[in-house]
Structure 1
């Protein structure tokens, strides 16, 4: 089985790529690495160090003996290239994580909000049109940020942005703000 994992450099995409590869799937990750640039712009880092895609792929090969392909592409802007990739690789499935997380980046300014909405909507539209254009029978699993679906559920407001928490440390309780959800 062959699968494309769009947004495969992300928090959910990379573990999905590893899981499918471990199950014997032929995996190709498609990502424009924008999350890395956004984290630099926000002056934040992941709590877990994130290696480059090249290092990740080599490490996976070393521990599993399996290859994972990588294509640097902006899904919502490179339609013809996306169609060609789907035709060339003929995936059985596409797992679509290629969306910019909504908070807090989209809250910085109108430009940031426009980038997020443009990226998230166009990536999905381009992918759907590319699958049709390819003429192939490709299964699609689309997973995305809660911001796509709204901010309430069962009458409860789901906070996005920063949440104040108390963390127990070696020096006693400390109040901090963490990204949420």
Structure 2
């Protein structure tokens, strides 16, 4: 398959791109390298070394023999360029990691809150709108977070997807499905709750195929591919 990995320079995006490449898929990474710029802003360095993207791709080519294309692009701003990329690459799947990823960063100041909302929501809507505009049958895979359910849900058994409820109407009780009630604890988590509303809307109205993963914390220093 042809897979575009948005945010493929990030902590989860890079290992995902390598894993899919190792499985034989044709990978294109799209990233604006904002994760690196945020580290510079905060005057911190990653616990695991992060080499320049050109070195990363060259190292993967050396150990695997497989090519990964990198495109520098700001998802959420460079809309026409993204549409052109979809037309050029004709992806089967888009994996969406292109969001500001830190809850603490999203709460540092009004400027950081505004950046998180502007970046995350525009990115998600633009990806969905571009898929519809392309007319292609593209499956979107998104990395969400369990944090959309609130911080007090640790240990709770949270149902997947939608809750089945009964709604009182003039004709009596009617069956309905609703999203599990959101309870975000930060601006970052709030944007993820809005993501799932975008996904519901575009799936309902435009039949976009979407897998939205609400996983717990993803942590580790290496994967089988990055070890190589």
TM-score w.r.t. length of structure 1: 0.82
CA distance in 2, matches of 1:62, 1:8: 19
Between the two proteins, the alignment pairs up a number of residues equal to 161
Answer yes or no: is 1:84 the counterpart of 2:84: yes
Aligned position for 1:170: none
Instruction: Decide which structure has greater strand share.
Output: 1
CA distance in 1, matches of 2:18, 2:64: 10
CA distance in 1, matches of 2:25, 2:152: 35
Instruction: Decide which structure has greater helix share.
Output: 2
Residues 16-62 of structure 1: per-residue CA shift (max 9 Å, x gap):
00000000000000000001000110111110110011000000000
Aligned position for 2:153: 154
RMSD over aligned CA atoms reads 2.3
Gaps of 5+ in 1: 161-180
Aligned position for 1:101: 101
Judge conservation of contact 1:102–1:116 (CA < 8 Å) in 2. no
Gaps of 5+ in 2: 156-182, 187-218, 220-228
Which is further off, 39-48 or 104-113?
Answer: 104-113
Aligned position for 1:141: 141
CA distance in 2, matches of 1:81, 1:50: 27
Aligned position for 2:49: 49
CA distance in 2, matches of 1:40, 1:145: 25
Structure 2 residue matching 1:104: 3-state secondary structure? helix
Divergent runs of 4+, >6 A: 155-160
Structure 2 residue matching 1:28: 3-state secondary structure? strand
